[in-house]
Chain A
Amino acid sequence: MVAEGKEQVKEEREKFSIVLFSGDYDRAMAAFILATTAAAENMDVAIFFTFWGLNFLKKGKFALNSKQSLPQKLLNIMNRKADRLSRFNMGGLGISMMKYLMKKNKVPTVDELMKMAKAMGVKFIACTTTLKVMGLEKENFSDIVDEFAGAATFLERAKNSKITLFI
């Protein structure tokens, strides 16, 4: 086991690529727990945020800007910072209960996990096409975003990744 370890350190780190398509709080938990744990094992982790996944990267409540059309404005108002469960959200009751249970069990929140992931070197990549469709500008996103890129960028990484997941 020791010999293996020494060889691993010299080689390039294994890559882990995640697509976060979902804007659901519970799915994001899974994504960030996997990302931080992989980073704790020295993996090279990147998360590609697309569609509803972008909700976790938005700065401010509504991510509005002056260039948006009315449908785009409506879309962004309806999709403000992600705070819903994929099941049993019950108009917000579900997510409140879940957050209470998590707090009681000392499980970190999505915000905490995102900060930890960033501190551990996990790359945050935002999908440019979704930006365009939803009328979002770079200014609508928090500093946590490392890069704005497209599918080809993600695929290049995914091809060379040991683990690739779609969440």
Chain B
Amino acid sequence: MLEVRDDNAAAFEELVRRYQSRLIGVLEHIVHGRVQAEDLAQEVFLRVYRARKSYVPGAKFSTWLFTIANNLASNALRALSRRREVNLTAMAGNDSGAQSLEQMAAAASGLMPTRRLDKTEMAEVVRLAIESLNERQRMALLLSKFEEMSYIDIADTMGISIEAVKSLLSRARLNLRAILAPYVEHGQLPEPRELRGDHRQ
């Protein structure tokens, strides 16, 4: 990042390559769409480039990067909800999401009542479970799990206290546990109603 600060284009390209997957991976679960996640990620990198002169040596670049990402994602979600363009029912367990789960449940019940889901199905269930969380719980969870950030770094990134981070992570994990417990213990699909925003606290 110090080289980027000194206008080294090759260093900036290396930075993009190194962080793009991680950034898009987190944003994809926040804004519910690959295309939008990529657009936001590009905006994040653009802002990093424009603010390169203000980068302080010694500061954690990933914390700075995801702080920008968190702010942009929050703004994007607010703008989308105002324009009513986002499919909020996807977060609340919309028809398409619920139908996919119901279809999966029907397919499963058609075979064996306790058929275990395959890896792809399980991934989809986990993805929907994460999307049932509210934005802040989701961001804290993703930063903790996939960026392996400490509570202090998550607090800095999200602009909240460490106690708030603890609370968000605990709540997120409890909610996920409540949704996914039947699958984990009995191999059953979670009820679609559990993915309709009942856990947005």
A, B: real partners: no
